[in-house]
Amino acid sequence: MSALNPTALEQGLQSCHGCGLLSRPADGAEEGRCPRCDEDLHFRKPKSLERTLAYLMAAAACYIPANLLPVMITNTSKGSESDTIMQGVVLLWSPTGWPLSIIVLFASIMIPSAKILALLYLVISVKRGSIKNNSQRVRLYRMVEIIGRWSMVDVFVDTFTVALIQLQPLMSVEPGPGLLFFAAVVVLTMLAVESFDPRLIWDSANAQEIQDEVPNA
């Protein structure tokens, strides 16, 4: 048993994600219920790495059509024109609009891809039993958790552009097929974040500590 950093897992205790209560499962049981709030309890989120990886792969698959297919189609009397997310960023670039253009570039293109890569790195490092950079890795996880929701911004941009520009027959805007894929990327990456258990980051280091202590004892 690790004396330096005792964990709930080593002591056979489970903490509740609903209410934070620490409790002891029935003898030998892996799963239980919280006596205070009735939430299902586990030592670690069940199948955390597998589920995170599955969501990430689905998100990565949707990321390609999300960026290649148009998200908005503008119909005017002269004909119709379709814009992908990147073209939307370029269109927004102007002497006054450039800060917003950069925000959309970050929110719609950089954040989703950075999120997928960051979570992939976390999953792989945990799978390989890494014991290095634990604090930085958990900080990366928290950052992904906080920033992730902002990639929804492009979905809202398209929603309200479409809702407002309905000046048939002069000009009207309709959503493009890329929008669904883009929304899927946002939702799938949020689910991936939710499935990952940051406590796994520390488990290898805990196991190492126990091993190191055995010769001393």
Where in 159-188 is the site for other proteins (CB under 8 A)?
159-167, 170-171, 174-175, 179-180, 183, 187
With H, G, I as helix, E, B as strand and everything else as coil, classify residue 162. helix
Cβ proximity to other proteins: between 118 and 215 the closer is 118
**Restricting to residues 124-143, which ones interact with other proteins according to CB under 8 A?**
134-135, 138-139, 141-142
The residue from 3, 64, 91, 110 that contacts other proteins (CB under 8 A) is 91
With H, G, I as helix, E, B as strand and everything else as coil, classify residue 73. strand
The dihedral over CA atoms of 108, 167, 91, 144, expressed in degrees to the nearest 10, equals: -10
Q: Two tokens at 152?
A: 């929804």
Query: What are the C-alpha distances in Å from 84 to residues 107, 166, 184, 195?
Result: 14, 20, 16, 30
Q: Does the footprint of other proteins cover residue 207 (CB under 8 A)? A: no
**Which region among 3-11, 54-62, 110-118, 124-132 touches other proteins (by CB under 8 A)?**
3-11
Query: DSSP character for 25?
Result: P
Cβ proximity to other proteins: between 16 and 53 the closer is 16
**Restricting to residues 17-76, which ones interact with other proteins according to CB under 8 A?**
17-26, 29, 31-39, 41
Q: Does the footprint of other proteins cover residue 109 (CB under 8 A)? A: no
Query: What are the C-alpha distances in Å from 144 to residues 111, 112, 156?
Result: 9, 10, 20
Residue 99 contacts residue 83 (beta carbons within 8 Å): no
Cβ proximity to other proteins: between 86 and 165 the closer is 165
